[in-house]
Amino acid sequence: MSAINSTLYISHPSQVLSGAVTLPASKSESNRALIIEALSGAGSQLDNLSEANDTRVITRLLSETANELNAEDAGTVMRFMTAYLAVTGQQKIITGTPRMLQRPIGVLVDALRELGAQIDYLGQEGYPPLAFRGIDRNREYPATLKVRGDISSQYISALLMVAPLFPNGLTLELTGKIGSRPYIQMTLALMKHFGAEGHFEGNIIHVPPQTYQPASYIIESDWSGASYWYSMVALAKDATVELKGLRRNSFQGDSAIANIMLNIGVQTTYNANSVTLTKTNKNEVFAYDFSDCPDLAQTIAVVCAAKGIAAEMSGLESLRIKETDRIAALQQELRKMGGDLEDIGNGIFRVKPITNFAAGPVFDTYEDHRMAMAFAPLALVSKIAIQEPHVVRKSYPRFWQDLESMGFTLEAAN
């Protein structure tokens, strides 16, 4: 299928799925491994790097010689490169798309400034673009930094990856509720693989001063990408789908999708280097805290709305500052089919089931790859349309081709 730039109409004639999918590699693992590899010196070998645009961007920026770097729409890249540029003492500018310039980065910049980094805002205070003027390695800096735990874990991971390079290492005290803990643990696991140990107990993370060692690492397939196939299996009339490249003992927090989807009607069987998904009975109601896996929230909200499951969802705070305000986007798009994501207070949202499955809803994607992929499985219930479907390139460039291989009918319209 050629590139799609406007609207994609999607349906599935049989509503039956059978076959195997080779998932893209995890961009979360890839982007962390690339930063750590760059800090480790020559000699590392990374295999099965993600094809996602975010990973292509960070690969390009790590070798870029120009004075100004463009992180495009990649929040992970902006945050990880900010810490990398600071600790390596480079004098460069980093910018991004208009939406990226609206995404806050002040928490990370404040922390890096305390550690001696000289960083200036070139626009609005607390937001990119940023200018780096090197790092003062002779100054005293605090033995412990306090960082909010309820912000994006990417800020914390960015600090952790550069922590071994400071003369006394770094101790982070995470204040308040800690979100996306598995992503922090993933970062520490990859650091350890490259020779730098950190210790995470309670709300304290301590990383001693160390030197990264070159190593080889094979990137696992992406559990976030797998979540959309779980949704498709849940909505299909019948399904047996094998997802290749996934591990039972994964570093990725989004591997939680296997347990979550048991509530929604999908059974997971673990194989040597893959999982097989089949249909099972659903629960009528369930509740889940997405603090540790916020990227699964859109998938779950849509599939529960489609299956009439009265799910209560919490831990969604970070969704407001993603590629778009994902809570508002979900509400707007679900309402097109009579569903909703209702704010019932105290940080809890309740899924209102879809009541109108008439063919033809056109879903906007808000420059957000996860909006496109979360709503695409609804094509197993009725014909739908996705606006600007090319946004999937951010994390799963082959998504539409993989749908075609599993019997979906795709029609592009300009």
Q: In the chain, where are the structural domains located?
A: 7-24+221-413, 27-218
- Number of C-alpha atoms within 13 angstroms, CB side, residue 189? 15
Backbone angles phi, psi at 87, to 5 degrees: -75, -25
Answer whether 7-24+221-413 and 27-218 agree in fold: yes
Backbone angles phi, psi at 281, to 5 degrees: -75, 145
Instruction: Provide the token pair at 3.
Output: 């590139």
Instruction: Provide the token pair at 184.
Output: 């922090």
Binding-site annotation: residue ranges for phosphoenolpyruvate: 27, 75, 103, 154, 326, 370, 394
Backbone angles phi, psi at 285, to 5 degrees: -140, 150
Q: Tell me the longest C-alpha to C-alpha distance in the chain.
A: 67
Which architecture does CATH list for 27-218? Alpha-beta prism (3.65)
> How many CB atoms within 10 Å of residue 219?
24
**Could you tell me if 203 and 178 are in contact, meaning their C-beta atoms sit under 8 angstroms apart?**
yes
Which residue numbers are catalytic? Answer: 295
Binding-site annotation: residue ranges: 27-28, 32, 75, 103, 152-154, 180, 295, 322, 326, 370, 394
| pTM of the model as a whole | 0.85
Given a cut of 50, the residues of the chain with pLDDT beneath it are 1-3
Judge residue 375's burial from the number of C-beta atoms within 10 Å of its C-beta, 0-12 exposed, 13-18 middle, 19 or more buried: buried
> How many CB atoms within 10 Å of residue 22?
14
Give Cβ neighbours of residue 40 (< 8 Å, ≥ 6 apart): 194, 195, 212, 213, 214, 215
CATH for 7-24+221-413? Answer: 3.65.10.10
Q: How far apart are alpha carbons 85 and 276 in whole angstroms?
A: 42
